[in-house]
Amino acid sequence: MQRHQQQAAHLPTASSIIALHTDEMTSATASQISQSQTLDAQVEQEQACYDCLRRHAAAAAASVSSGDQQQQQQQQLLLLREEHIDYLTRRLRNLPASFSGLDASQAWLAYWSVHALYLLGEDLDDDIAASLADLLSTMQCPTTGGFGGGPHQVAHLAVTYAAVNCLCILGRLDLVDKPAMSSWLSSLHQTDGSYRMQVDGETDVRGVYCAVSVARLLNLPEFDSLFEGTAEWVGRCQTYEGGFGGVPGSEAHGGYAYCAFAALKLLNRTDACDCRRLLRWAATRQMRFEGGFQGRTNKLVDSCYSFWLSALFPALQSSLPPRLATLAEGAWLFDQERLQCYVLACCQKRTGGLFDKPPGSPDPYHCCYSLSGLSIAQHYLSGSDDRPEQSSVLLTGERYNQLRMTCPLHNIGLEFLPTGCGLSSSSAAPSASPDVNIVLDADTGFDTDLKAKESS
């Protein structure tokens, strides 16, 4: 814990991030740096994030000068909790017409909103929870056993994963026809160990992860036979970079890497891949300036990867060989403070909702995965996979920003995990008095002498 406190003490604040890169941003224009469209876009994105951080630091400096303590508190890097709760609750009750194109993603919309509200500490009204459970129960196809994206739609593994996760949060897994589900999963299992997303559909690691996660949460008795040869197939999807592609031979990608390694972890087969190469690849996806993660090499930052990539670290660090385990003691092997800074300073809309990168428009998907990544960055879990324990909390800003914990393998609250699903619900509750480190100044959240830092 002492080592963790020393690390936290040296983490950069938002204004130090600005100071570190001011010379880079002011000494060269985009046209001087750029040699390609990709570099042009990167420079523009860094400038957008720089502007967000500078606005926060300038507002904090002004509030300190005024001596108004209430205003100082308002200018911290603050999670807009109530605004996000209002945004997500409205989306659960009444979707705008612009969402009509997502009719086949109704299960996803329910899961994204319900899980994000849970992380924010908002419990659903009983009538909303009952209505959602009833709606989701109508999405399980009676002829196949999988879930469709809406009632009377074709069963698909991705929306089956979303529906089962949502029902798990609602405490209504009893609504799932488990024998039918097991039969349907078996029909998607290919001879090489891979999984199709639907009958006659595409094959990739998303299908494997969704199938493994669903089978674990439902405690299907046929688990072992459902995944014969699967770990070996997933292992062949690891690329020369260290990440995972969707299928063998494809480019490494953050979402696919998460699906692949989380599946191997749930299968207890992390021996099927090179964990150290994956760790190196995942760590280099965190952007040096923005603090968030990119999904692929030479791509822009995106807040959804705050979860897809940060969630790799809890699973990876428990798989490291003993001689490397000391590197992972007390903190995750990515910059937790910088990731929180990116989400809080650059990805929140003042009226509610979170988006991928500035400037952007909010949506339930990015609300869910931005907050999930923020939760991973805030909470350090020690202990074994079967008995995780919260040992410390690292917050950017004030205690108000603290979210509930999420499971890095299933992305639902630890308290909802059934016994035997890969993480034990009996040990899911956090310790009564976790150590809390708040790494930004308690009054302002920033070093307020911004002009002096920018001119130095």
- Give pLDDT tens digits for 267-291: 999 999 999 999 999 999 999 999 9
d(CA 173, CA 302): 32
Position 331 scores a pLDDT of 87
Give the position of tokens 């329910």. Answer: 110
More confident: 452 or 35: 35
Per the structure block, which two tokens stand in for 23?
């010379």
d(CA 453, CA 122): 40
Residue among 204, 356, 385, 447 flagged as catalytic: 356
Residue among 305, 342, 369, 380 flagged as catalytic: 305
356 belongs to the catalytic site: yes
296 belongs to the catalytic site: yes
Number of Cβ within a 10 Å radius of residue 415: 14
d(CA 332, CA 145): 39
Cα–Cα distance list, 299 to 39, 207, 269, 346, 443 (Å): 9, 24, 30, 17, 36
305 belongs to the catalytic site: yes
Lowest mean pLDDT among 36-40, 51-55, 87-91, 359-363: 36-40
**In the predicted model, is pLDDT for residue 213 greater than 60?**
yes
d(CA 223, CA 18): 50
**In the predicted model, is pLDDT for residue 17 greater than 60?**
no
More confident: 435 or 255: 255
**In the predicted model, is pLDDT for residue 93 greater than 50?**
yes
Residue among 299, 443, 449, 453 flagged as catalytic: 299
Lowest mean pLDDT among 141-150, 176-185, 350-359, 425-434: 425-434
Residue among 168, 216, 302, 335 flagged as catalytic: 302
d(CA 339, CA 176): 37
Per-residue confidence band for 436, with pLDDT thresholds at 50, 70 and 90: low
H or E element, residue 270: none
**In the predicted model, is pLDDT for residue 211 greater than 90?**
yes
Position 94 scores a pLDDT of 82
Residue among 189, 296, 338, 357 flagged as catalytic: 296
H or E element, residue 212: helix 205-217
Residue among 166, 210, 304, 346 flagged as catalytic: 304
Position 317 scores a pLDDT of 87
**In the predicted model, is pLDDT for residue 427 greater than 70?**
no
DSSP single-letter state for residue 414: G
Lowest mean pLDDT among 25-34, 152-161, 235-244: 25-34
More confident: 11 or 246: 246
Written in H, E and C, the secondary structure of 338-405 is HHHHHHHHHCECCCCCECCCCCCCCCHHHHHHHHHHHHHHHEEEEECCCCEEEEEEEECCCHHHCCCC
115 belongs to the catalytic site: no
56 belongs to the catalytic site: no
Q: Check if the beta carbon of residue 391 is closer than 8 Å to that of residue 382.
A: yes
Residue-averaged pLDDT of the chain: 82
Per the structure block, which two tokens stand in for 144?
């196949």
Residue among 366, 379, 404, 410 flagged as catalytic: 366
Residue among 253, 265, 349, 410 flagged as catalytic: 253
410 belongs to the catalytic site: no
Instruction: Tell me the mean pLDDT in the region 259-265.
Output: 97
The residues near 129 (Cβ < 8 Å, ≥ 6 apart) are 170
Per-residue confidence band for 251, with pLDDT thresholds at 50, 70 and 90: very high
Instruction: Tell me the mean pLDDT in the region 99-107.
Output: 87
What DSSP assignment string belongs to 408-426?
TTT-SBGGGPPTTSSS-GG
φ, ψ of residue 140 to 5 degrees: the values are: -75, 120
Instruction: Tell me the mean pLDDT in the region 69-91.
Output: 80
d(CA 272, CA 265): 10
